[in-house]
């Protein structure tokens, strides 16, 4: 969905690539999700209208060490463009090396940086959503990425959370720093790390960030609680953000992007597939993922986790649901799908939260992490993500 003109209610997002400006139209981005946004899932989402589709997060160190699984994770799908990679590092030198490698070897057209991960194995060593609290380290990492990407014409963006908790909010200062360093946009998941994925995201924080960055001209994208096209439109109208980033809302629902495209282009029709339509998307996902892994066994094992998301809200016998969670071949998968009875889309259930629902909890941080926000901490946490 790219073009050089405005369509619908919003101007397209500008992505200044080396090959020339690319306009993300409508401005709808598939968020990177570990174990989910591999090439097959990205292809499903772009076929439904996603404007940009970001790879699973990979660590800068694993990339420069050429870990085979990491290299697989950034492989684009057929005709995938722009090729978008999310990089993670806590060291500016490692980040610079990884970005330079991407540029020299033409591995991606766009780099996003993760400063929003709230999981304890990351925050306990100062990474993810904890890292922007160390303002000098954050600035050094973002600056290293932007500087290294510049000779290759690769735009760099950042994704972050509001902060560690309500007493340690970092998003306004960190976003301004990133904007001044030259990022193309800032995406904000409007929760703190402490909230994990609990409750409602605070869209008012997105509004504040939009106003805060207005003098810089750097766009803000909103993320959090977009379960339908109506939600995406509401976020944009309420916050005046320049686009939306969709994560958990599209799990088992790649057609959410078609719904968003319709809503953002002023359409009143909704995308509510019947179960027979859903089952064909499911099978296509199966074919794509088996081809991607070049192994029916591995592909089917990876596909299993998507089954409950696809079937959520539909009336499916419990034994059949159990069998979907144990599929071993595409032939078996097709046989199970053929046993489903057609039925309307379950709007009431289908447009509610799915995926991770971790409850709020105190953020695990390194000892004395909060003592000095100006401390230049170089902590090695990339080993927490073996293989990528």
Which CATH number fits the domain that encloses residue 25? Answer: 3.20.20.70
CA–CA distance, 46 with 52 (Å, rounded to integer):
8
Q: Specify the pLDDT at position 373.
A: 87
User: Are residues 200 and 332 both part of a single domain?
Assistant: no
Pick from 269, 285, 307: which residue ends a domain?
269
Among 117, 241, 250, 300, the one annotated catalytic: 117
User: Are residues 195 and 50 both part of a single domain?
Assistant: yes
User: Is residue 311 included in any domain, yes or no?
Assistant: yes
Residue 387 has pLDDT above 50, yes or no: no
Structure-model confidence comparison of residues 272 and 3, the more confident one: 272
Q: What is the number of residues in the chain?
A: 388
User: Is residue 89 included in any domain, yes or no?
Assistant: yes
- Catalytic (active site) residue 45: no
Residue 383 has pLDDT above 60, yes or no: no
Q: Residue 304: what are its φ and ψ, rounded to 5°? A: -55, -40
Q: Tell me the mean pLDDT in the region 224-244.
A: 95
In the chain, the number of structural domains is 2
Segment 295-325, tens digit of pLDDT: 999 999 999 999 999 999 999 999 999 999 9
Mean pLDDT of the chain: 90
Note whether 178 and 219 are within 8 A (CB).
Answer: no
Residue 340 tokens read as 């489903």
> Which of the residue ranges 61-70, 128-137, 220-229, 351-360 would you say has the lowest mean pLDDT?
351-360
Residue 233 has pLDDT above 80, yes or no: yes
User: Is residue 8 included in any domain, yes or no?
Assistant: no
User: Are residues 222 and 325 both part of a single domain?
Assistant: no
Q: Specify the pLDDT at position 361.
A: 79
User: Are residues 293 and 265 both part of a single domain?
Assistant: no
Pick from 230, 246, 269: which residue ends a domain?
269
Q: Specify the pLDDT at position 377.
A: 64
CA–CA distance, 265 with 112 (Å, rounded to integer):
26
- Give the pLDDT band (50/70/90) at residue 388: very low
The H-or-E segment that residue 85 falls in is strand 84-88
User: Is residue 357 included in any domain, yes or no?
Assistant: no
Residue 130 has pLDDT above 70, yes or no: yes
User: Are residues 91 and 232 both part of a single domain?
Assistant: yes
User: Are residues 151 and 184 both part of a single domain?
Assistant: yes
Q: Specify the pLDDT at position 375.
A: 82
User: Are residues 30 and 72 both part of a single domain?
Assistant: yes
Residue 386 has pLDDT above 50, yes or no: no
User: Are residues 297 and 244 both part of a single domain?
Assistant: no
User: Are residues 216 and 94 both part of a single domain?
Assistant: yes
Q: What is the DSSP letter of 53?
A: E
Note whether 89 and 95 are within 8 A (CB).
Answer: yes
Q: Specify the pLDDT at position 356.
A: 56
Q: Tell me the mean pLDDT in the region 13-19.
A: 92
Q: Specify the pLDDT at position 40.
A: 96
Q: Tell me the mean pLDDT in the region 32-61.
A: 93
User: Are residues 176 and 216 both part of a single domain?
Assistant: yes
User: Is residue 293 included in any domain, yes or no?
Assistant: yes
Q: Specify the pLDDT at position 133.
A: 94
Cβ atoms < 10 Å from Cβ of 104: 10
Segment 161-209, tens digit of pLDDT: 999 999 999 999 999 999 999 999 999 999 999 998 888 899 999 999 9
**Which residue segment(s) compose the domain that 322 sits in?**
275-344
User: Is residue 388 included in any domain, yes or no?
Assistant: no
User: Are residues 174 and 206 both part of a single domain?
Assistant: yes
User: Is residue 355 included in any domain, yes or no?
Assistant: no
User: Is residue 349 included in any domain, yes or no?
Assistant: no
| Predicted model pTM | 0.90
């Amino acid at each position: 969905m790219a073009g050089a003109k405005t369509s619908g209610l919003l101007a397209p997002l500008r992505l200044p690539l080396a090959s020339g400006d690319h306009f993300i139209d409508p401005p709808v981005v598939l968020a990177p999700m570990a174990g989910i946004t591999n090439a097959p899932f990205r292809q499903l989402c772009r076929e439904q209208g996603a404007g940009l589709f970001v790879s699973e997060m990979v660590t800068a160190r694993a990339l420069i060490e050429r870990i085979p699984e990491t290299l697989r994770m950034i492989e684009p799908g057929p005709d995938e463009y722009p090729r978008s990679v999310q990089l993670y590092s806590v060291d500016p030198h490692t980040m610079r090396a990884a970005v330079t490698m991407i540029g020299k070897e033409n591995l991606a057209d766009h780099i996003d940086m993760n400063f929003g991960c709230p999981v304890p194995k990351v925050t306990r060593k100062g990474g993810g959503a904890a890292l922007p609290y160390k303002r000098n380290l954050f600035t050094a990492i973002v600056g290293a990425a932007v500087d290294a990407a510049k000779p290759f014409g690769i735009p760099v963006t950042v994704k972050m959370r509001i902060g560690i908790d309500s007493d340690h909010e970092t998003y306004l200062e960190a976003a301004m720093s990133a904007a001044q360093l030259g990022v193309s946009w800032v995406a904000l998941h409007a929760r703190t790390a402490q909230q994990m994925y609990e409750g409602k995201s605070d869209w008012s924080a997105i509004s504040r960030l939009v106003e805060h960055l207005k003098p810089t001209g750097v766009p803000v994208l909103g993320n959090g609680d977009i379960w339908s096209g109506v939600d995406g439109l509401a976020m944009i109208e309420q916050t005046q953000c320049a686009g939306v980033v969709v994560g958990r809302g599209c799990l088992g629902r790649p057609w959410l992007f078609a719904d968003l495209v319709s809503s953002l282009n002023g359409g009143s029709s909704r995308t509510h597939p019947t179960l027979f339509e859903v089952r064909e998307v499911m099978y296509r996902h199966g074919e794509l993922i088996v081809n991607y892994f070049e192994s029916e066994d591995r592909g089917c094992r990876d596909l299993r986790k998507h089954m409950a998301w696809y079937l959520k809200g539909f009336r499916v016998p419990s034994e059949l649901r159990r069998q979907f969670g144990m599929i071993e071949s595409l032939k078996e998968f097709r046989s199970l799908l053929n046993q489903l009875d057609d039925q309307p889309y379950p709007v009431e259930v289908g447009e509610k939260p799915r995926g991770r629902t971790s409850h709020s909890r105190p953020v695990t941080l390194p000892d004395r992490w909060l003592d000095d926000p100006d401390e230049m901490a170089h902590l090695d946490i990339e080993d927490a993500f073996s293989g990528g």
